[in-house]
Amino acid sequence: MPSLVTGTATRDATRYQTELVLAVVLGVVTAGLGMMFLGMAGMAMGAVGVVRDLLVIAGLVVLGGFAVMPGGVFVVLGSLVMVLDACVVAHVWLSRSGD
C-alpha cells in the first residue's frame, strides 16, 4: 500500500509542477503582450514624428547604398580591363620573344 500512496503523491507533484510552469510561461507571454499594447497606447503624438524621421534616415541609407554600388561595379570592370590588358601584353611579348 505505501507504494500506491507514494506513486500518487509523485504523480500529483509532477502535475502540479507542470501546471506551475505552464502558468508562469503563459503569464510571462501575456504580460509581455500587455506591455506592448500599453506601450503603443501610451505613445505620444510627437513621437510619431520621430518614427517618420527614422524611416527617412533609413530611406537615405538605402539610396546611399544604391549610389555606392555602381562604384563597386566600376572597380570590378576596371580590374577586368587590367587583367585582359595584362593577357594581351603577355601574349604579344611572348610571341615576339619566340622570333
Half-sphere exposure of 33 (CA within 13 A, CB side): 6
Please give the average per-residue pLDDT across 72-78, as a whole number: 93
Please report which confidence band the pLDDT of residue 14 belongs to, taking 50, 70 and 90 as the band edges.
confident
Rounded Cα–Cα distance for residues 42 and 3 (Å): 57
Rounded Cα–Cα distance for residues 94 and 82 (Å): 18
Q: The pTM is what?
A: 0.38
Q: Where are the domains of the chain?
A: 1-42, 45-99
Give 36-54 pLDDT, tens digit per residue: 666 655 556 656 677 788 8
